[in-house]
Structure 1
């Protein structure tokens, strides 16, 4: 029997109640504390199994993008433009699989914003990119010069407009010379930033050492609880980012009791049709980090079912996102697709709550703890 999509959120809640039901002998739950002995191993697995491999994948994808952009500029054609666009989408995918690590090297030298400037409120960044193209500012055709310009003109958003925005068809012929050179500079800039991410995390005595060895002399984590809090905070912030910065800008479900018509041009990567693939990759990244790090081991034995409910939600959200294909405006105009967006929005909020309140509470952070508020 096939169930209506709208009924699935209720079913998820029935299968996985909000509070851990298991109890030890005597009818009491075990103490709500993190398993500190497990923390160093979990942190090490997060670094070695998720973070560093993720940045390696990103570095490889940006190398391919730079090569494809070079080929496009030297041999413009429909085929080389298609290849460059494909390489761009692959970078979006690889970035979406690691952008949840918004700390350490990502916060230094504005690397995160230089790689992805979003949201672009009031289209300020778009106007700057359009101005470069209109003026044919040759200083923007060298990657080393882009570092000194606005973060909005040197990352994925700028390159998406170059490859897909108004006038992009010129890239397949001889009239797109300047546009292509600017796009190539952006590609090379992305490759440089991706290389910096990887180099910083690969340093044996750098941030990876701080993650793997919590303790009194550690500059980041004085004890295991601080380290576990940081790792869980990555998941909480990631879930919150998807809900509030990826979905809500273009679709809010109901507004003042009426269905939201949606704002497709506020969706991330709407020009390249990468909106939902990127969101799916975000959810997949959260699940991969959760499982690769072995975060279930941080839970008391009688609360391990929380990990199962979180994984079930991850699978449902990824499957729903994968079923949304094509342009955002078409999805918003289709009742079935909108139902899937409603499903994702509702269960993304549920995921956030389970990570924040249930998982966090079960490892000693206390119900109501908010990573977002920095409490």
Structure 2
């Protein structure tokens, strides 16, 4: 019954969105050429209206998290713990929106992995965090020495365990003093990394200049085609990430076509109950990038319906993810929520196809262009 319901939802959505671009456009077989005039403006808006504001918001919420963590250690209480957990959720939400920009400064100095080490397939990070707590490693309570340790013990995953893992209830009293100071060091580390992201993108002669002015002598993009490939690649790689790293590990369901009871402890942020909020944040970030950058303007006039299809899918996926609320283990025991997960999985795959094949083909990157392989 559940699978049938998800299939019906998928068919309804497919009908509303419409057929793939190759079927929509009467001259789909004619050569497509990138709108060279529109590209620089789109790249500039991506930087000025999405990337920099996104990192600015991340910097603000990590600062608030650092302050809340410090206040918890100073005067521990149930209320202070809840305030800190709420601040953690705010960081997860803002990070999920901007983490799709996994390039440039995010790849330097292991910043991305230091902020979020995931997936932790062999529970390596978990074991390292547990060892720090068990041994009372004082070097983990100072941000300057913590950042020299394994990437797995200094980011959001480690802080989630501190705030929600076994023994976290001690944080509401002085008995959790060491654990709390370790949490403060992590939050200060997150604040510092968020500040580095923002500073690197705000440099007028840094990566933002490379994004805004493709051409000879540009260290990143020799021409507009390379810039367009990078920008669309952000969306394609991120949708692939959601499908393969956020959904598949804990629920293969509609992806595999087999019955799947689910594996909640493989889901990101499962302890804090933020799994689907993070997925929703990923989709919100992608839609915000697509719309604020004006990526529709890269499409030929006779292919603008592709942008409408993409936005329809974004809205449907965000709405579905928002309705799978609460702990993911509880959601996996609820047929209605599992139907929504099937719906999300099926239509995430459809979104990937529309971005990769339809949008990419329409702006001259070639139908079937593989961003993952660089073909």
Same fold (TM over 0.5): yes
Give the Cα separation in 1 of the matches to 2:52 and 2:373: 28
Give the Cα separation in 2 of the matches to 1:169 and 1:150: 25
Question: Structure 2 matches for 1:10-159, cutoff 5 A?
Answer: 10-15=11-16, 16-20=18-22, 21-23=24-26, 31-159=31-159
Give the Cα separation in 2 of the matches to 1:136 and 1:157: 19
Partner of 1:341: 341
Question: Structure 2 matches for 1:242-253, cutoff 5 A?
Answer: 242-253=242-253
Question: Structure 2 matches for 1:185-204, cutoff 5 A?
Answer: 185-204=185-204
CA RMSD of aligned residues (A): 1.4
Give the Cα separation in 1 of the matches to 2:28 and 2:187: 57
TM-score, structure 1 as length reference: 0.96
Whether the 8 Å CA contact 2:69–2:183 is kept in 1: the answer is yes
Partner of 2:160: 160
Whether the 8 Å CA contact 1:30–1:302 is kept in 2: the answer is no
Give the Cα separation in 2 of the matches to 1:65 and 1:229: 36
What's the CA shift string for 1:338-357, capped at 9, x where partnerless? 00000000000000000000
Q: Secondary structure at the match of 1:121?
A: coil
Whether the 8 Å CA contact 1:9–1:346 is kept in 2: the answer is yes
Whether the 8 Å CA contact 1:30–1:300 is kept in 2: the answer is no
Deviation at 1:217, TM superposition (A): 1.3
Question: Structure 2 matches for 1:326-365, cutoff 5 A?
Answer: 326-365=326-365
My pick for the range that moved more, 13-22 or 216-225, is 13-22
What's the CA shift string for 1:113-159, capped at 9, x where partnerless? 00000000110100000000000000000001011100000000000
Give the Cα separation in 1 of the matches to 2:251 and 2:211: 37
Deviation at 1:9, TM superposition (A): 1.2
Q: Secondary structure at the match of 1:49?
A: helix
Give the Cα separation in 1 of the matches to 2:5 and 2:338: 13
Q: Secondary structure at the match of 2:218?
A: coil
Deviation at 1:256, TM superposition (A): 7.4
Deviation at 1:31, TM superposition (A): 3.4
Structure 2 vs 1, CA of residues 28 and 159 (structure 1 numbering), >3 Å: closer, same or farther?
Answer: closer
Moved over 3 A (4+): 3-6, 27-31, 254-258
Give the Cα separation in 2 of the matches to 1:151 and 1:104: 18
| Gap regions ≥5 residues in structure 2 | none
Give the Cα separation in 2 of the matches to 1:256 and 1:266: 17
Whether the 8 Å CA contact 1:29–1:302 is kept in 2: the answer is no
Structure 2 residue 294 is the aligned partner of structure 1 residue 281: no
Deviation at 1:36, TM superposition (A): 0.7
Q: Aligned residue pairs: how many?
A: 370
| Gap regions ≥5 residues in structure 1 | none
What's the CA shift string for 1:310-345, capped at 9, x where partnerless? 000000000000000111111111111100000000
What's the CA shift string for 1:52-91, capped at 9, x where partnerless? 0000000000000000000000000001000000000000
